[in-house]
Amino acid sequence: MSPAHTVLQDVFGYEAFRGPQQAIVEHVVAGGDALVLMPTGGGKSLCYQIPAIVRQQQGQGVAIVVSPLIALMHDQVGALHEAGVKAAFLNSSLDWQQAQDVEWQMQSGQLTLLYVAPERLVTPRFLGLLDDLYANGQLGLFAIDEAHCVSQWGHDFRPEYRALSVLHERYAGVPRIALTATADALTRADIVERLHLEQAQQFVSSFDRPNIRYTIVEKKDVTNQLVRWIKHEHEGEAGVVYCLSRRRVEELAQTLQDHGIHALPYHAGLPGDMRQLHQNRFLREDGLWWWPRLRLAWASTSPMCALWRTWTCRATSKATTRKPAARAAMACLRRHGWPMASPMW
């Protein structure tokens, strides 16, 4: 049995890899670069977490995971801790002393994976820490999550991702794996160019998701419509409702609480400890509805049973319609006779 398969079974509790996971893992463990396009729920995280663990066991050091989402960092690190993996994150939710402690753990070889925002990674201070690790042969790999953010053609372009080209220029020989759940051919080409992944092997999976269903309804008295939908069709289930503004997040969450539905708001304007508390409750409690602002779109291992999004009939950009879920929803709307309708992402 390979070291990767041993980690899959002993650490994560799975008997076998799914789809292209094994080929990706073995390629990265061996030191190869990779671009991975895999739908949400397809097991992208294991494609870098297992190589990180194996390479750390082989004495090759810590894996640095670039992620733009604080909520996702917390979720991933919490799950790794439960699996017995030494992991941490560096983001704005930590105070100065906490950040110092995490940096010390990284430098002293106590971490297997460290999650960091792209803005922090490219600071002179953090690059200096990475330089020290690299000089000592203790940089195991770089994983760039949500890699579509580097592309101006992607639906979530973030300029700071462009600076990640420094990883190729500064840390030769350290494998890099870029991952995304959504990127058409144009976006993939942009990712390759911007991150200097010309020699990377590409693993492109199908977006067929038979467990996802789109139901399109016209909005009429949307608040009461939502209350009825939850109580009559999804009583006792968990779900996420996305809103366009912080104010609407808090208003709708309070409205559902007034109707006896367990609901929690989540947006960047809440105190950090409250955001963390609400996220932890959503992950661990049954029948809880979570209200994030739309721009805080978030992935979780929580078994969410229902999902409500806010839709609008308006023109949309080509970048938005490249998102597979957006294209599928628009096709559904057109079949219902709404030719100009498009989802609001």
Q: What is the CATH class of 3-204?
A: alpha beta
Full-model pTM: 0.74
| pLDDT at residue 79, as a whole number | 92
Q: Report how far residue 112's alpha carbon sits from residue 53's, in angstroms, rounded to the nearest whole number.
A: 6
- Strands in 263-266's sheet, in edge-to-edge order, are 263-266, 289-292, 239-241, 306-308
The CATH number of the domain covering residues in 222-309: 3.40.50.300
pLDDT digit string, tens, across residues 314-343: 434 344 444 555 555 545 544 444 443 333
| pLDDT at residue 280, as a whole number | 76
Distances from the Cα of 241 to the Cα of 15, 105, 252, 293, 328, angstroms = 34, 37, 9, 8, 19
Map out the domains of the chain as residue ranges.
3-204, 222-309
Q: Is it true that 3-204 and 222-309 share their CATH fold?
A: yes
The stretches in the chain having pLDDT less than 70 are 153-157, 207-211, 283, 285-345
Q: Report how far residue 134's alpha carbon sits from residue 172's, in angstroms, rounded to the nearest whole number.
A: 9
